[in-house]
Amino acid sequence: MTINIQTQSSLNTDRIIPFAQTESLADQLAELARQIGLPASMLQRDFKADARENLVFYGTEGRKTYLLGLGKEPQSMNWLRAFRKLFFDQRDKLPAEVAIDLTAFDATVVEAVVLGVRGGGYDLRLYQTDKAEGPVFFSDAGHLTLVVRPDQQQTAHQAVSQGEAIAQTQREMMDLMNAPANYKTPQTLADWTIKSGQQHGYAVTILDKAELEKQGLGALLSVSQGSDVPPVLIIAEYKPEGVAQARNVGLVGKGVTFDTGGVSIKTSANMHLMKSDMGGAAAVLGTVELAAKLKLPVHVIGIVPSTENSTDGRSTKPGDVVTSYSGKTIEVIDTDAEGRVILADGLGYMIRNFQPDTLIDLATLTGSVIATLGYHAAGLFTPNDKLATQLTTAADRTGERIWRLPVWDVYKEDIKSDVADVKNFHGKPINGAIAAAKFLEFFTDGHPAWAHLDIAGTAFADTEFGSQKNATGFGIRLLIDFLQNIE
């Protein structure tokens, strides 16, 4: 499917007209009714522009017009979700050519519209053998026209370009997250990153198991002990050309490609969803690729410690003490709190080898953050007020919401160990996400601009694509917006 920008709408295609719930809605519908020869009262009665509401009618030439509701004061995510649902629900009924009339809006909405349309074409049936031929609109023959005002053309073209870049990367990350463990190992993530780096011009280094042992990444190695699949540390580095003293941002993402819980094994009810435990890795790898694709003037380093957390006779046992890359020791109380353990090595490696100005880690880390914030926001943990404001502003702009939770030193007691420098689990039914954040902070060496994002409830969620939870691509748009606006 291709996308182009026009300033005039054609009557020879099906068209979509979005409406926000405003005081002028009745007048807008009356004007549309006049243009198409329908009674104004009919449109005003049947369409209220509620979020994701749609009304379809046929014109004189047999072409369909869709009225799409956006709700009150729609933000970026409202646009994205409204268009995604419409195009997903109607994907098999859409003709090859469709137009969207955006002349009533500023072209800054175009990126979200593109992401919504592309998202509507996502196919979760990755391994089904009896799939029918895909919808014609989302094939190579498909064509989308965005109709904008003449003064909005340049902005619209830029938004389409960025939206297309984000959509492609997000789709690949969603495919990786939705892939089961027998199709996705740590080496799979490494191979994807190598290919992406070659294609988009950024450096990639992979530390294999032998190199991890040589360099002493004992925390990552301890989690991998119960699996036949070897761990890796993925290092992806994008340096902008011609930018003197570019700001240096380090991103660390949890890359557990399947999590059984280890010896502290999970219950079987939802274990199959633990293929998603590399959501932080997906956000980091996707962001580095996009930074290179968009040629952002920021030096971005992504580090992903990746492993399976499985169980056999070699597995790390509760009570074991392991030595991390930084030299600090960890008492493993719960082997199902493995994400923070591998992130300890990722953070330590980042700080020692790259000294980033800003350090952000992302992980599908705790059920506690879901109990706190549900599935609508990720947890933000940072002692840095300025960084918290910048990340929250990016989250508000993109609709990938985050909410700040405390990392006060009164919570240090939760990670105190009697036999090691720190323990990985406090064993309490309270403040689990905060305790995990305090554990990670211990391995940042007091970095002045560190933030942790617990994306457990937002990276893998209920969507229109399937009957059970699946990947959302959460974190990529948030981080790209943050990088584009970083001070």
Residues annotated in the binding site for Mn(2+), as ranges?
Answer: 254, 259, 277, 336, 338
CA distances, 165 to each of 161, 286, 298, 460 (Å):
6, 11, 17, 22
Structure tokens at 203: 């450096």
**Catalytic residue at 340?**
yes
Query: Residues 64, 266, 328, 397: which is the catalytic one?
Result: 266
Residue type, 36: I
Answer for the pair 4, 146: CB distance below 8 angstroms, yes or no: yes
- 3-class state of residue 104 by DSSP: coil
Distance linking the first and last C-alpha atoms of the chain: 37
> Residue 477, exposed/middle/buried by CB under 10 A (0-12, 13-18, 19+)?
buried
Query: Residues 15, 118, 340, 438: which is the catalytic one?
Result: 340
Answer for the pair 200, 237: CB distance below 8 angstroms, yes or no: no
For residues 321 and 356, what is the distance between their CA atoms, to the nearest angstrom? Answer: 29
For residues 256 and 278, what is the distance between their CA atoms, to the nearest angstrom? Answer: 5
Phi then psi for 65, rounded to 5 degrees?
-120, 130
Distance of CA 368 to the CA centre of its chain: 20
Kindly state the DSSP code that residue 267 receives in the 8-state scheme. Answer: P
Annotated binding-site residues read: 254, 259, 277, 336, 338
Q: Smallest Cα–Cα separation from 222: which of 351, 350, 324, 328?
A: 324
- 3-class state of residue 259 by DSSP: strand
**Catalytic residue at 397?**
no
Q: Which residues are catalytic?
A: 266, 340
